[in-house]
């Protein structure tokens, strides 16, 4: 019998007892950025001390975190091929950083895994700037760059261009297990130019601004979540995260519609508290595949009843403002007293007044 683990593969709701609130906050933001907003670039920091790569909060070893990820998937009865390759990659990265005397650049690719294992159809190129006064202690600033529908062949082209040497990886794990540390600083703009040439990569400024606006409105609820986390049971944590995700999707839909009209949405009412929305939005949101696996948990209640969304959205002259797209299944939310002709997510024109 499989042991039950709190949370999904994409966001595990179990931390060590000494977890800090700012650590939970960063995890929530990066999770929403990737899984709910398809974020394109995300910056984070790591430390390298005494031969170990650690997080900047509690100094927990990334090797230990990697081992936990492997064990997590074993308990769930899932393949650990990618996670084991990542663990090898972390150890190889530590070896290379130990030899780096001053500044350098990390480049590390993560092509997508199979959709059968819950992975999304996108990958990442990780670029890290390494700064150091000596070889034993280093500061690492990482940037995760999302690339849509990449191939191993494409990443071979990118790395061959960057390194000025032919790279012939055979599968995603070849890249995941083999990060590189270059003894020079590499301009991230140059790297993005190569990504554009190989993958038709384009920077998405509007999506970045959308996430900023939503995050500004969502911040008080994220604070609620970090405060609530330590006092809650695993079941309560799950419900709280669901509520947070669903509310983020509501805000995203509101902001997204109004953004198309070049109007920055200003809420006319005070944002909800996490405790207030948990009873009505604490159902499992739509499943999303991603770099760490699926958001799906054991529950089958994916969308939740339509009336739940309506409880936070007042009806207008056209009736209910929330409706589900028949093409992609995402919940759309109309601006008050306005109709929409296309789905806010997939662009389908199958939505109509009868859906509203």
Encode pLDDT of 41-77 as tens digits.
999 999 999 899 999 888 889 999 899 888 888 887 8
- Same-domain status, 251 and 105: no
The answer to whether residue 34 sits within a structural domain is no
Please give the Cα distance from 166 to 157 (Å, whole number).
8
Are the C-beta atoms of residues 127 and 145 closer than 8 Å to each other? yes
- Same-domain status, 52 and 195: yes
155, with CB counted inside 10 A (0-12, 13-18, 19+), is: buried
Name the 3-class secondary structure at 73: helix
pTM of structure: 0.75
For the chain, list the strands marked E by DSSP: 41-49, 52-55, 104-110, 122-132, 137-148, 180-182, 322-324, 331-333
Of 199, 231, 265, the last residue of a domain is: 199
- Same-domain status, 149 and 266: no
The answer to whether residue 31 sits within a structural domain is no
Of 175, 199, 223, the last residue of a domain is: 199
Please give the Cα distance from 331 to 333 (Å, whole number).
7
Q: Please tell me the total count of domains within the chain.
A: 2
The answer to whether residue 92 sits within a structural domain is yes
- Same-domain status, 64 and 195: yes
- Same-domain status, 299 and 338: yes
- Same-domain status, 316 and 227: yes
pLDDT in tens, the chain (356 residues): 344 444 555 555 555 556 788 888 998 999 999 888 988 999 999 999 989 999 988 888 999 989 988 888 888 788 899 999 999 999 999 999 999 988 999 999 999 988 877 788 899 999 999 998 666 789 999 999 999 999 999 999 999 999 999 999 999 999 999 999 999 999 999 999 999 999 989 888 888 899 999 999 999 999 999 998 888 888 898 999 999 999 999 888 888 765 554 444 444 445 678 988 898 888 888 887 766 665 655 433 323 333 333 344 456 677 776 666 777 666 666 666 777 777 766 667 776 644 33
- Same-domain status, 224 and 346: yes
- Same-domain status, 225 and 181: no
The answer to whether residue 335 sits within a structural domain is yes
- Same-domain status, 277 and 321: yes
Please give the Cα distance from 6 to 11 (Å, whole number).
9
- Same-domain status, 242 and 102: no
Domain holding 51, by residue range, is: 40-199
Instruction: Please identify which residue in the block is written with the tokens 């064990």.
Output: 71
């Amino acid at each position: 019998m499989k042991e039950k683990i709190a949370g999904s593969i994409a966001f595990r709701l179990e931390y060590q007892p000494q977890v800090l609130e700012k650590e939970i906050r960063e995890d929530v933001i990066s999770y929403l950025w990737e899984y709910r907003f398809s974020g394109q670039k995300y910056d984070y920091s790591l430390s390298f001390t005494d031969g170990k790569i650690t997080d900047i909060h509690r100094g927990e070893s990334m090797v230990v975190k990697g081992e936990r990820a492997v064990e997590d998937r074993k308990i769930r009865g899932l393949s650990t091929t990618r996670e084991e390759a990542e663990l090898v990659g972390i150890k190889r990265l530590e070896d290379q950083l130990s030899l780096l005397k001053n500044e350098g650049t990390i480049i590390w690719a993560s092509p997508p895994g199979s959709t059968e294992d819950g992975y999304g159809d996108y990958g990442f190129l990780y670029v890290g700037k390494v700064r150091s006064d000596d070889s034993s202690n280093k500061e690492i600033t990482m940037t995760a760059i999302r690339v849509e529908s990449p191939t191993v062949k494409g990443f071979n082209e990118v790395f061959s261009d960057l390194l000025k040497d032919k790279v012939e990886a055979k599968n995603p794990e070849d890249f995941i297990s083999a990060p590189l540390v270059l003894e020079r600083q590499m301009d991230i703009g140059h790297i993005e130019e190569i990504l554009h040439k190989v993958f038709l990569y384009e920077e998405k400024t509007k999506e970045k601004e959308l996430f900023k606006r939503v995050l500004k409105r969502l911040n008080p609820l994220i604070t609620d979540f970090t405060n609530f986390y330590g006092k809650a049971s695993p079941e309560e944590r799950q419900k709280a995260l669901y509520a947070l995700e669903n509310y983020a999707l509501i805000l995203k839909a509101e902001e997204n519609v109004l953004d198309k009209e070049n109007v920055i949405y200003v809420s006319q009412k005070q944002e909800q508290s996490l405790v207030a929305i948990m009873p009505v939005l604490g159902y499992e949101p739509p499943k999303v595949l991603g770099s760490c696996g699926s958001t799906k948990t054991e529950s089958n209640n994916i969308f939740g009843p339509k009336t739940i969304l309506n409880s936070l959205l007042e009806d207008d002259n056209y009736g209910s403002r929330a409706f589900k797209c028949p093409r992609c299944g995402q919940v759309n939310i109309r601006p008050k007293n306005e109709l929409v002709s296309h789905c806010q997510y997939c662009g389908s024109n199958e939505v109509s007044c009868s859906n509203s």
